[in-house]
Chain A
Amino acid sequence: MSKMTPLDRILLLATGLLAAYQVAVGVDGFSALPMIAYTISFGVLLVAGLLLIILGFEALDSPWVVIVSTIIPLSLSLGLVWEHLAAYRGVYLLFSIAGFLAVVITRSFPMPGKLSVITLAIVHGIAGMVIFLLPILLAAQGSVPRGYALIGVGGALIGAGGLLLSFLKAGKPILSKEIIFKVLPGLLFLMTAAFVAGFALAK
């Protein structure tokens, strides 16, 4: 298991502080559901960052990691869809709940074949694409300030991080464990910074 360096801890602390700022200040002014959804995603990010600092990378051995790493993109994408794609609100809410339950069930019980990996890929893939594409498209159309596109950048990073972690946990690593742990704190920090900046610039 890779040892956590002081730089890793600083990056994770900065990630936690940014997420805390977003929970305390950054989600003000949104309607109820997006506010709750963003609070959940940044809240999970904050607590996960703190636990990583406390427990080190060993925390990633926990079977809960796959489930927790699903909550962040699902709730964030739900907030974005609720805000900007009124026609798809119901469908996406349903997808979020069903997707989350599917990941919980496929990670909690023995599943035939590659069902658990496929479920994970679908849920992460869709949520990741929403976070990546929606803000960039909206910014390109001019319906939101251009800085909002930074959320899309964060989306690309969360997609990369989520897939790396999920497939590592699923026993099918895309990169070696050492490389993933080396880049993870930086990836989390950049992702959170992009989200926070994107939301702030859109206000």
Chain B
Amino acid sequence: MIEATPLSITHLKTKVRSYWPLIKSLQTGLLISTGLAGYMSARCPVFNLGTIAALTASLFLSISGSTILNMWWDRDIDAKMRRTQKRPLACGQISPAEALRLGLILSTLGVGMAAAMDALYGLIIFAGLFFDVVVYSIWLKRRTCWSIVWGGISGAMPILAGRALGLGALDWIGAALALGVLFWIPTHILTFSMKFYADYQAAGVPTFPSTYGFGFTRAVIAVSSVLAAVSMGMAAWGIGMTVGYLRLLIVLSGGLLALAAAVLLRPSERVNFGLFKYASLYMLSAMLLMMI
């Protein structure tokens, strides 16, 4: 018994270390920040630490759960792509059954916790998980490049859910925030699918570049960047963001639009990568501005 404790801790540490890459911590963190921003944008009593902690935990569990389920489903294509072939499931570090179990447990806990907090909040969180795992990954991802629209809708759910939890209802500002995330996602994913074009081709996953060509994809990126910036601006105005922060959001949106224009007019690998990274930074900054 005395020896079992350190062994158990070591075992647990090893497990956590091998599970961690399954949840895509950066992406999960960014989505949690959108949920928190949606909640705080409602200008509800945000210093209720209990609610904030529960919101964060339910988002973490449900987003991590759906991410693991996606990885479980996509393990065969991950193994074919150079970028993803070292993921724990693709390289056999974790068994599919174990990942499926973990994904289902986390998802159930996350959705259950969300539903216990508020029925509407729980429903939106469930919708996000359903769109992400069932509609996006299982049904559409291998059939059509337009699957990213559903991936985008599921990505927009945390911010809508957070806002709904704060307000107790849905409103146009929540919809604008969700649209902001929805339109931001193509900017993010399409630049990625251009950078790793060969990988997606090797795995047989249809993408915009492989279906419509790079020129059209760049045009979609530019248009979606404009729409993301407009949606975020509208939501910020609706929330009643101060003029100073609004000005800052406009400046950051200007950077996003300038990069999208550069991708369209003077495409290069570097500009493409710059837009991909900047788009993440833009989203994080926009969320921080919505919170304060």
Query: Footprint of B on A, CB under 8 Å?
Result: 20, 23-25, 27-28, 39, 42-43, 46-47, 50-51, 54-55, 58-59, 64
Whether B274 contacts A20 by the Cβ 8 Å rule is: no
Main secondary structure of the interface of A (DSSP, over half): helix
Bound state CA distance, A50 and B248, in angstroms?
A: 14
Residue of A nearest to B271 (CB): A62
Hey, which chain B residues are within 8 Å of A54, CB to CB? 273-274, 277-278, 281
Partner-binding segment picked from B76-84, B212-220, B239-247: B239-247
Q: List 20 A-B contacts (CB under 8 A).
A: A20-B248, A23-B247, A23-B248, A23-B251, A24-B245, A24-B248, A28-B243, A28-B244, A39-B251, A46-B252, A46-B255, A47-B252, A50-B255, A50-B278, A51-B255, A51-B278, A54-B281, A55-B270, A58-B270, A59-B274
Hey, which chain B residues are within 8 Å of A50, CB to CB? 255, 278, 281
Work out how many contacts link A and B, with CB atoms closer than 8 A: 47
Could you say which of A28, A47, A58 contacts B251, with CB atoms under 8 Å apart? A47
- Interface presence of B258 (CB below 8 A): yes
Bound state CA distance, A20 and B285, in angstroms?
A: 11
Bound state CA distance, A54 and B259, in angstroms?
A: 13
Whether A24 contacts B274 by the Cβ 8 Å rule is: no
Beyond the given A50-B281, A58-B270, A59-B270, please list 11 additional residue pairs across the A-B interface where CB-CB is below 8 A. Answer: A23-B248, A24-B244, A24-B247, A24-B248, A43-B255, A47-B258, A51-B274, A54-B273, A54-B281, A55-B274, A64-B262
- Shortest Cβ gap from B17 to chain A (Å): 25
Main secondary structure of the interface of B (DSSP, over half): helix
Bound state CA distance, A54 and B276, in angstroms?
A: 10
Bound state CA distance, A51 and B278, in angstroms?
A: 7
Residue of B nearest to A54 (CB): B277
Hey, which chain B residues are within 8 Å of A20, CB to CB? 248
Whether B254 contacts A43 by the Cβ 8 Å rule is: yes
Residue of A nearest to B243 (CB): A28
Give 1 or 0 for each of B158-194: 1 = CB within 8 Å of chain A CB.
0000000000000000000000000000000000000
- Shortest Cβ gap from B137 to chain A (Å): 29
Bound state CA distance, A27 and B248, in angstroms?
A: 11
Bound state CA distance, A24 and B285, in angstroms?
A: 13
Bound state CA distance, A162 and B65, in angstroms?
A: 50
Whether B247 contacts A39 by the Cβ 8 Å rule is: yes
Give 1 or 0 for each of B255-274: 1 = CB within 8 Å of chain A CB.
10011001000000010011
- Shortest Cβ gap from A171 to chain B (Å): 20
- Shortest Cβ gap from B274 to chain A (Å): 5
Residue of B nearest to A19 (CB): B251
Bound state CA distance, A25 and B258, in angstroms?
A: 24
Hey, which chain A residues are within 8 Å of B277, CB to CB? 54-55
Hey, which chain B residues are within 8 Å of A47, CB to CB? 251-252, 254-255, 258
Hey, which chain B residues are within 8 Å of A24, CB to CB? 244-245, 247-248
Whether A43 contacts B251 by the Cβ 8 Å rule is: yes
Residue of A nearest to B248 (CB): A24
Hey, which chain A residues are within 8 Å of B258, CB to CB? 47
Bound state CA distance, A152 and B258, in angstroms?
A: 30
Bound state CA distance, A2 and B89, in angstroms?
A: 38
Bound state CA distance, A46 and B254, in angstroms?
A: 11
Hey, which chain A residues are within 8 Å of B255, CB to CB? 43, 46-47, 50-51
